[in-house]
Structure 1
Amino acid sequence: MSHANIGTEVPAGKNPPAAKLTLLTLTAMVVGSMVGAGVFSLPRRFAQETGVAGALIAWTVAGVGMLMLAFVFQTLAVRRPDLDAGVYAYAKAGFGEYLGFFSAFGYWASACVGNVTYWVLIMSTIGAVVPALGDGDTALAIALSSAGLWGFFLLVRRGVKEAAAINRIVTVGKLVPIVVFVVLALFFFEPSVFADNFGGADYAGSLFDQVRGTMLATVFVFLGVEGASVYSRHAQRREDVGRATVLGFLSVFAIFASVTIVSYGIMPMGEIAELRQPSMAGVLEAAVGTWGQVFVSVGLIVSVLGAYLAWTLMAAEVLFVAAGDKDMPRFLGRANSEDVPVPALLMTTALSQVVLVVTAFSDDAFNFALDLTSALSLIPFLLAAAFAVKIALRPGAEKTAGRSTRRELVIAVIATLYTAFLLYAAGLKFVLVSFILYAPATLLFVKARREQGRRPFSPAEGLICAVSVAGAVLGIIALVLGWIEL
């Protein structure tokens, strides 16, 4: 999962001079923004759902779909260079202010929930040594995670930013263990075990169900693919942005798919499915012994803590930029003397705290937070892809720069269909849980409208609000009656 950027720009007047970056540097930035903690959890997550055949199909579908989304964001950056306030700006331009607000809120909320997966994973990793931490969902684990959340809040509030040296350490911290894992797994690879895992286990269900069950995991690890286009103003050559997007994406895709597939040659998938997270550590331990688990665990903690700092800053930036565009209340657009948006940072930490407490009631805290992160990001992705279709069909009406091509239309349609399939794959549970978050957020939209002396909703927006509230009510009823479980 990416946390190096969220596709947002710094507000006007605060941009540093645009540095000119080479193709190699741009590609490295794309890779760094996409490789996060999610990759360390892939072996177990896939083994719980599918065997080798299903994994190969799932990665093919995800690879094509996410690459199309990457092309969509690249195209939108070129066709609508005036929209530089982040992913949600596309939803606002294409489908109105209320859906634009939902897109901004959903993107921010997915960032906050993503932060929770980091703390759960850290505590689960340490839990291998300190049993009282369990899988990151015990009372002690939640208390320590909460202390970490607010400790980082105080740190960031004082204006602490990631230095270049920290970024380099974090990048090495996450890439070296992954590469070493793949190389060692290939060395200890057992063809007979791989063959036994090919068709999937008895619990896996039909091949379609197996593939569908892995879709949200692939979304989670690919979050950040949308951020590549944000570097376009820094590029030495404009065409390098597209090349860096493709090169970076393919590099990350190869890493993610390799980690998943080689694991099937080390252990039976039923055993991988029972590993504690981070499951990559458990797989390497089975191959080389205890030092493999320690090696991956240390790399993960270094990676997660560094990436968490970046995510916290960028999640707050989403609210800050939206407030600057009058899509959020004015108070979220305030910054302190260190140029840190404290109210937005406080809201970010508070939502992460709420979700962290909710994970205590989940059967699988990590997978719940992972799936919810992915589900919340799908609405912004779907609206952006649909906006790209709209531009391709009616370029003149959308004030675009240059003419759209048939290729751009095909890419946008595929990206839209892929994102719609992901919503279906998420299932009713996560759609309803998402509504429970979305509906109360409308109060922020109403407050922003009142600050501007405008009526809260147009007739169409009132209808959308009614649907979201009905979804939230149904979600709460379903949770209380046990129709759906966390």
Structure 2
Amino acid sequence: MASQSTQKLSLFALTAMVVGSMVGAGIFNLPGRFGAATGPFGAMIAWAIAGTGMYMLARVFQALAEKRPDLDSGVFAYAKAGFGNYVGFLSAFGYWLGSCLGNVFYWVLIGSTLGRFFPDLFGDGSSTIAIIVSLIGIWIFHFMILRGVEQAAFINTIVTIAKIVPIIVFILALVFVFNYAQFSENFFGGPGMPEKSLIAQVRDTMLITVFVFLGIEGASVYSRFAKERSDVGKATILGFVGVTGLMVAVTLLPYAALPQAQIAALQQPSLATVLEAVVGHWGAVFISIGVLVSVLGAYLAWSLICAEVLFAAAKSQDMPKLFAAQNGNRVPANALWLTNIVVSLFVISTYWSRDAFNFMLDMTSVTALLPYLLVAGYGVLLARSGVGYETTPEKRGRDQVFAWIAVVYTIFMFAAAGLKYVLLVAVLFVPGTILYFWARREQNLQLFTPTELIVFAITLIAGLIGAYGLLTGIITP
């Protein structure tokens, strides 16, 4: 069995986990998604909103890591501490499910990237060949991760460094060809784009901004592996600032190279198509290689996070104890098996989706919002209670303001997502509650408090409405 010392991660490794989790698939799709929604002016407003909201959330994660070091299983532990067992379970299950959906999106993106070069085989990433290749890849990674977390974390650090290079090359190339006249023409929305209000333009970018910020809590999830507890908060902020700079540059620079209508019509990954237009075909090949390296690295990080969330929830008795089992390499093997079985089923389901690419991206974003909202809510409760602030009472007011802004931001994100995605997430939460029943039965504990029963009833009703919408065709994936 691996010694405890070999499991400890440095500040650099934790920061690499944050960057590796965040710089995955989303950043390579930003030009096309933003180009279809808005011009540079709307994009700047969208990034100001998203950057502020996510920065506040990062500060909440930092404060909670410092004030409640005893809660070392990350995201869902805060929801349980603040809002009770069932809400804590929903947070853990939602976070795990969102991570699974994100992993499905990665494989769809790999398929669509290969589809640039082999369109008849891979198409948009949801063809039969693309699904078979994805399933093979899922299980190769599965058996590699079973060999040990430290080995996988080391690979992630190397991949994180390697995948930043194509993005930097993209930014430098577009800075070199920056066309001010083109940027000005696109600024409030380029010619040939449909008329819509600035609010509608900004709203249409919101889910992609949530997706690209997913992973901001990567260091928090792995807090039990940190050499120094204070490194968790530092890694979160360092990763956030660096990645935000990259994402804003990647979004805005294409507007100075191509008309917005052309950007909006780009094949994904749109970063490759933009660079191809600027420097020639080698640009598309270069970025596509970067996409494959980046996505596989992010997939590795998120596979680890998926298994870690189930494992931590089982250790704290919020999931069946079956998932608390570790193999000889200290890897939560049963949690990893369930994760990859679910990811495989979702990958197969993309065959019937009209737009698997954007659907999986948006579903991942919405599923992650509930855990984020509950973390922000607990940040408010903790700052108001003063627990953990005995030696730094002057920080209570500041931290409460940060947490309230994060709460407002996540509620706004739910509104921007729309009812369709909220109902679809509820459809998945209802059968997931079976795991909660299982865990409570194992411990001979009361199933629900009166308040939790109301929460379950709301979840059940929303799930039934969503299922009815799917069956009747009112809601389409």
Length-normalised TM-score, structure 2:
0.92
Cα drift, residue 111 of structure 1:
0.8
Q: What is the aligned partner in structure 2 of residue 273 from structure 1? A: 264
Q: Partners in 1 of 2:19 and 2:54 — Cα distance?
A: 14
Q: What is the aligned partner in structure 2 of residue 37 from structure 1? A: 25
Q: For residues 257-311 of structure 1, what are the alpha-carbon distances to aligned partners after superposition, in whole Å with 9 as ceiling and x for unaligned?
A: 0000001112222222222211100000000110000000111111222332232
Q: Is the 1:51–1:199 contact (alpha carbons within 8 Å) kept by the matching residues of 2? A: yes
Q: Partners in 2 of 1:122 and 1:19 — Cα distance?
A: 32
Assess, with a 3 A threshold, how the Cα gap between structure 1 residues 244 and 317 changes in structure 2: closer, same or farther: closer
Q: Partners in 2 of 1:399 and 1:261 — Cα distance?
A: 41
Q: Partners in 2 of 1:458 and 1:235 — Cα distance?
A: 38
Name the % identity: 50
The yes-or-no answer on 1:91 pairing with 2:79 is yes
Q: Partners in 1 of 2:433 and 2:334 — Cα distance?
A: 18
Assess, with a 3 A threshold, how the Cα gap between structure 1 residues 299 and 422 changes in structure 2: closer, same or farther: same
What one-letter code is carried by the residue in structure 1 that aligns with 2:268?
Q
Q: For residues 44-79 of structure 1, what are the alpha-carbon distances to aligned partners after superposition, in whole Å with 9 as ceiling and x for unaligned?
A: 111121111110000011111100000001111112
Q: What is the aligned partner in structure 2 of residue 80 from structure 1? A: 68
Q: What is the aligned partner in structure 2 of residue 191 from structure 1? A: 180
The yes-or-no answer on 1:214 pairing with 2:202 is no
Q: Is the 2:89–2:319 contact (alpha carbons within 8 Å) kept by the matching residues of 1? A: yes
Q: For residues 357-400 of structure 1, what are the alpha-carbon distances to aligned partners after superposition, in whole Å with 9 as ceiling and x for unaligned?
A: 2322323211111111111111010011011111122225x897
Q: What is the aligned partner in structure 1 of residue 401 from structure 2? A: 410
SS at match of 1:147: helix
Q: Is the 2:226–2:232 contact (alpha carbons within 8 Å) kept by the matching residues of 1? A: no
Unmatched 5+ stretches in structure 2:
none
Q: Is the 2:16–2:157 contact (alpha carbons within 8 Å) kept by the matching residues of 1? A: no
Cα drift, residue 440 of structure 1:
0.6
What is the correspondence of 1:65-464 to structure 2 with a 5 Å cutoff?
65-131=53-119, 132-159=121-148, 162=151, 166-201=155-190, 202-203=193-194, 205-229=196-220, 234=226, 238=230, 242=233, 244-396=235-387, 402-403=392-393, 404-464=395-455
What one-letter code is carried by the residue in structure 1 that aligns with 2:38?
T
Cα drift, residue 19 of structure 1:
5.8
Q: Partners in 2 of 1:349 and 1:237 — Cα distance?
A: 30
Q: For residues 411-452 of structure 1, what are the alpha-carbon distances to aligned partners after superposition, in whole Å with 9 as ceiling and x for unaligned?
A: 111011001111111111110110011111110000100000
The yes-or-no answer on 1:47 pairing with 2:35 is yes
Q: Partners in 1 of 2:237 and 2:205 — Cα distance?
A: 23
Assess, with a 3 A threshold, how the Cα gap between structure 1 residues 383 and 258 changes in structure 2: closer, same or farther: same
Q: For residues 178-235 of structure 1, what are the alpha-carbon distances to aligned partners after superposition, in whole Å with 9 as ceiling and x for unaligned?
A: 0000110111222222222211253262111111111111111111222345559846
Counterpart pick for 1:62 among 42, 50, 70: 50
Q: Partners in 1 of 2:47 and 2:270 — Cα distance?
A: 19
Cα drift, residue 14 of structure 1:
7.3
Q: Partners in 2 of 1:128 and 1:332 — Cα distance?
A: 40
Q: Partners in 1 of 2:212 and 2:131 — Cα distance?
A: 24
Unmatched 5+ stretches in structure 1:
1-12
Q: What is the aligned partner in structure 2 of residue 3 from structure 1? A: none
Assess, with a 3 A threshold, how the Cα gap between structure 1 residues 481 and 355 changes in structure 2: closer, same or farther: same
Assess, with a 3 A threshold, how the Cα gap between structure 1 residues 165 and 377 changes in structure 2: closer, same or farther: closer
Cα drift, residue 152 of structure 1:
2.3
Length-normalised TM-score, structure 1:
0.91
Q: Is the 2:149–2:331 contact (alpha carbons within 8 Å) kept by the matching residues of 1? A: no
Assess, with a 3 A threshold, how the Cα gap between structure 1 residues 400 and 324 changes in structure 2: closer, same or farther: farther
The yes-or-no answer on 1:471 pairing with 2:462 is yes
SS at match of 2:445: coil
What one-letter code is carried by the residue in structure 1 that aligns with 2:422?
V
Moved over 6 A (4+): 398-401
Q: Partners in 1 of 2:291 and 2:24 — Cα distance?
A: 9
Q: Is the 1:204–1:210 contact (alpha carbons within 8 Å) kept by the matching residues of 2? A: no
Q: Is the 1:26–1:235 contact (alpha carbons within 8 Å) kept by the matching residues of 2? A: no
Q: Is the 1:50–1:210 contact (alpha carbons within 8 Å) kept by the matching residues of 2? A: yes
- The number of aligned residues is 471
What one-letter code is carried by the residue in structure 1 that aligns with 2:438?
K
Q: Is the 2:23–2:294 contact (alpha carbons within 8 Å) kept by the matching residues of 1? A: no
Q: Partners in 1 of 2:151 and 2:293 — Cα distance?
A: 14
Q: Is the 2:102–2:360 contact (alpha carbons within 8 Å) kept by the matching residues of 1? A: yes
Q: Partners in 2 of 1:113 and 1:479 — Cα distance?
A: 18
Cα drift, residue 163 of structure 1:
5.3
Q: Partners in 2 of 1:81 and 1:57 — Cα distance?
A: 35
Q: Is the 1:332–1:341 contact (alpha carbons within 8 Å) kept by the matching residues of 2? A: yes
Q: Partners in 1 of 2:242 and 2:397 — Cα distance?
A: 27
Q: Partners in 2 of 1:28 and 1:350 — Cα distance?
A: 27
Assess, with a 3 A threshold, how the Cα gap between structure 1 residues 153 and 232 changes in structure 2: closer, same or farther: closer
Moved more, 189-198 or 440-449: 189-198
Cα drift, residue 162 of structure 1:
3.5
Q: What is the aligned partner in structure 2 of residue 4 from structure 1? A: none
Q: Partners in 1 of 2:298 and 2:45 — Cα distance?
A: 30
Q: C-alpha root-mean-square deviation of aligned residues, in Å?
A: 2.4
SS at match of 2:205: helix
Q: Is the 1:334–1:342 contact (alpha carbons within 8 Å) kept by the matching residues of 2? A: yes
Moved more, 83-92 or 451-460: 451-460
